[in-house]
Amino acid sequence: MIRIDCPFCGPRDETEFTYGGDASRARPPLDETSEEVWNTYVFLRPNERGLHEEYWFHQHGCRAWLKVTRDMVSHAISEVVFARKDKST
């Protein structure tokens, strides 16, 4: 069981959350027409055996999207921030 320390609700079980996948990618602007850029965004993943930035949605809690940094081997979480706040800064 992964426990995520939600900045609003405090530590909660992973079962309260929905996984949102890799948070390290930035969507290209819509006027981008390069096939390679879109291929990289849609399909390619660094998939490193180390720290992974990922989105989790606190569906059964405060319903905020979070950005979590988690180790892919130990599952230890080193950082949890609001995804939205992270974007604006």
Is residue 43 near another protein by the rule CB under 8 A? yes
Is residue 54 near another protein by the rule CB under 8 A? yes
Among 11, 46, 60, 84, the residue binding another protein under the rule CB under 8 A is 46
Contacts of 44 (CB under 8 A, 6+ apart): none
Cα–Cα separations (whole angstroms), residue 84 to 23, 55, 67, 80: 12, 11, 9, 12
Contact residues toward another protein (CB under 8 A) are: 1-2, 13-15, 19, 21-22, 35-36, 39-40, 42-49, 52, 54, 70, 72-75
